Structure 1
Amino acid sequence: MAIKFGTDGWRAVIADEYTFENLKKISKATAIAFEGHPKINNGIAVGYDTRFLSKEFADCAAEVFANHGIKVYLTDSFVTTPTVSLLSRDKNLAYGVMITSSHNPAKYNGFKLKDEFGGSMGPVHLNVIEEKLKNSDSFNYGSGTLEEFITSGKIEYIKGKDYYRNTLKEKIDTDVINSSGVKIIYDAMYGSGQGMMDGIINITAIRNEVNPSFGGSSPEPVQMNLSLISGEMKSGKFDIGIVTDGDADRIAIFDENGEFVDAQKTFALLLTYMVENKKMTGGVVRGFSSSDVIKEICDEYGLKLYTVPIGFKYISELMIKEDILIGAEESGGIGLKHHLPERDGIFNGMMFSEMLAVKKKKMSELIAEIEKKYGKYYYKRIDQHLSSNELKSELIELTKSLKEVAGLEVVGQDTLDGCKLLFKNGWLLVRASGTEPLLRIYTETTGENKTEEILNDIKKKFKL
Structure 2
Amino acid sequence: MIEEKYNKWVNHPNIDPALKAELLAMDEKQKVDAFYTNIEFGTAGMRGLLGAGTNRINLHTIRKANAGFAQYITANGEAAMQRGVAIGYDNRHMSYEFAMDSAKVLASYNIRSYVFESLRPTPELSFAVRTLNCFGGIMVTASHNPKEYNGYKLYDEKGCQLIPDLAKQVIDRVNAVEDELAIRVDLTPEQEKLITVIGKEIDEQYYAKVLGIQLNPEVKKTDVKIIFTPQHGTANIPVKEVFTRAGYQFVPVEEQCTPDPDFSNTPTPNPEETASYNLALEYAKREDADIVLSCDPDADRMGVAVKHHGEYVLLTGNQSGSVLIEYILSQLKAKGKMPANPVMFNTVVTSDLGEKIAAKYGVETEKTLTGFKFIGEKVAKYELTHEKEYVFGYEESYGSLISPFVRDKDAPQACLMLAEAACFYKAQGKTLVDVLDGLYDELGTYQESQTSITLAGKEGAERIKEIIATFRNEAPKEIGGLKVIASEDYGCLKRYENGSEQALIGFTKSDVLKFYLEDGSWIAVRPSGTEPKCKFYYCVRGTSKENAKEKTEILQAAMKKAIE
How do 1:287-306 and structure 2 match up within 5 A? 287-306=347-366
SS in 1 for 2:401: strand
Task: Answer yes or no: is 1:203 the counterpart of 2:250.
Answer: yes
Aligned-partner Cα distance in 1 for 2:223–2:212: 20
Is 1:415 aligned with 2:489?
yes
CA deviations over 1:48-78 (Å, ceiling 9, x no partner): 1000121111111111111211111110111
Question: How many Å separate the matches in 1 of 2:216 and 2:241?
Answer: 10
Query: Is 2:552 the partner of 1:451?
Result: yes
User: 1:407 offset after TM fit, Å?
Assistant: 0.6
Displacement of 1:337 in angstroms is 3.7
Alpha-carbon offset, residue 343 of structure 1: 0.2
Partner of 1:24: 63
Q: Matches of 1:102 and 1:299 in 2, distance apart?
A: 32
* Residue 336 (structure 1) aligns with: 402
Which residue is 1:367 aligned to?
A: 436
8 Å CA contact retained: 1:11, 1:101: yes
Q: CA deviation at 1:224?
A: 3.3
Which has the higher mean CA deviation after the structures are superposed, 84-93 or 303-312? 303-312
Greater relative contact order structure (CA < 8 Å, 6+ sep): 1
- Residue aligning to 1:2: 38
The residue that corresponds to 1:167 in the other structure is 209
CA contact (8 A) 1:420 1:429 kept: yes
Match of 2:187 in 1: 144
Matched, 1:285 2:351: no
Q: How far apart, CA to CA, are the structure 2 residues paired with 1:198 and 1:238?
A: 16
Q: 1:451 to 1:174 in 2, by over 3 A?
A: same
Residue 464 of structure 2 is aligned to residue 389 of structure 1: no
Query: Does structure 1 residue 346 correspond to structure 2 residue 397?
Result: no
Counterpart of 2:513 in structure 1: which amino acid?
Answer: C
SS class of match (1:456) = helix
CA distance in 1, matches of 2:215, 2:348: 32
User: C-alpha separation between the residues in 1 aligned to 2:205 and 2:530?
Assistant: 30
Higher mean alpha-carbon deviation, 129-138 vs 184-193, is at 129-138
Alignment-derived partner of residue 96 in structure 2: 55
Does the CA contact (< 8 Å) of 1:250 and 1:343 recur in 2? yes
- Deviation of residue 171 (structure 1)? 3.8
Unpaired runs of at least 5, structure 1:
none
Aligned to 1:327: 393
**Contact 1:239–1:363 at 8 Å: present in 2 too?**
no
The 10-residue stretch of structure 1 (297-306 or 325-334) with the greater mean CA deviation from structure 2:
297-306
Larger Rg computed on CA atoms: 2
Structure 1 residues 58, 158: CA separation in 2 closer, same or farther (over 3 Å shift)?
A: same
CA distance in 1, matches of 2:262, 2:185: 34
**1:232 aligned partner:** 283
1:175-197 Cα offsets, whole Å, 9 max, x none, are 53674442111111111111112
Letter in 1 for 2:392: I
Given residue 331 of structure 2, which amino acid in structure 1 is its aligned partner?
Answer: N
1:247 alignment counterpart? 298
Equivalent position of 2:4 in the other structure: none
Name 2:156's counterpart in structure 1: 115
What are the residue-to-residue correspondences of 1:253-264 with 2, within 5 Å? 253-257=304-308, 258-264=312-318
Q: 3-state DSSP class of the match of 1:316?
A: helix
Q: 2:526 aligns with which of 427, 431, 444?
A: 431
The Cα of 1:410 is off from its aligned counterpart by 0.8
Match status 1:461 vs 2:562? yes
Paired residues of 1:233 and 1:254 also in contact (CA < 8 A)? no
Counterpart in the other structure of 2:81: 40
From 390, 399, 406, the counterpart of 2:471: 399
- 1:190 is the counterpart of 2:232: yes
Assess if the C-alpha contact under 8 Å between 2:73 and 2:80 holds in 1: no
Matched to 1:59, the amino acid is: M
Q: Which residue of 2 aligns with 1:265?
A: 319
Give the C-alpha shift of residue 233 in structure 1: 2.9
Distance in 2 separating the partners of 1:171 and 1:157: 28
Which secondary structure state, in structure 1, belongs to the residue aligned with residue 237 of structure 2?
Answer: coil
Shift of residue 305, structure 1, vs aligned partner = 1.6
Call closer, same or farther: CA 1:373–1:7 in 2, change over 3 Å: farther
SS at the partner of 1:421?
Answer: strand
In structure 2, how many angstroms separate the alpha carbons of the residues matched to 1:451 and 1:48?
Answer: 38
Query: What's the CA shift for 1:161?
Result: 4.0
Is the CA contact 1:7–1:435 (under 8 Å) kept in the aligned structure 2?
A: no
Q: Shift of the alpha carbon at 1:236?
A: 6.0
Offset from partner CA, 1:303-332 (integer Å, 9 cap, x none): 222222211222221122133322211111
Query: 1:85 maps to what in 2?
Result: 126
Alpha-carbon distance in structure 2 between the residues aligned to 1:443 and 1:319 = 27
Work out the CA distance in 1 between the residues paired with 2:161 and 2:368: 14
Per the alignment, residue 217 of structure 1 pairs with 267
Which whole-Å CA distance do the structure 1 matches of 2:292 and 2:203 have between them?
Answer: 22
Does the CA-based 8 Å contact 2:379-2:404 persist in structure 1? no
Give, in whole Å, the separation in 2 of the partners of 1:179 and 1:407.
Answer: 49
Q: Partner of 1:266: helix, strand, or coil?
A: helix
What is the root-mean-square deviation in Å for CA atoms of aligned residues?
2.2
1:226 match: secondary structure: helix
Number of aligned residues: 460
Distance 1:375 1:233, change over 3 A: farther
Q: What displacement does 1:170 show? A: 3.9
Aligned-residue offset at 1:162? 4.4
Q: 1:167, CA displacement in angstroms?
A: 3.2
Following superposition, the deviation at residue 298 of structure 1 comes to 2.8
SS class of match (2:393)? strand
> Contact 1:97 / 1:113 at 8 angstroms: preserved in 2?
yes
Tell me, yes or no, if the aligned pair for 1:248 and 1:346 is still in contact at 8 Å.
Answer: yes
Question: Whole-Å Cα distance in 1 between the matches of residues 220 and 59 of structure 2?
Answer: 45
Q: Secondary structure at the match of 2:138?
A: strand
- Out of 178-187 and 369-378, give the one that drifted further: 178-187
What TM-score results when the alignment is normalised by the length of structure 2?
Answer: 0.77
Match of 1:103 among 129, 139, 144: 144
Task: Say if 1:217 and 1:346 are closer, same or farther in 2 by CA, change over 3 A.
Answer: same
8 Å contact 1:120–1:313 — kept in the other structure?
yes
Identity %: 26
Identify which range, 268-277 or 177-186, moves more after superposition.
Answer: 177-186
Structure 2 unmatched ranges of 5 or more: 1-36, 244-248, 383-387, 491-510, 543-547
Residue equivalent to 1:314 = 374
SS in 2 for 1:431: strand
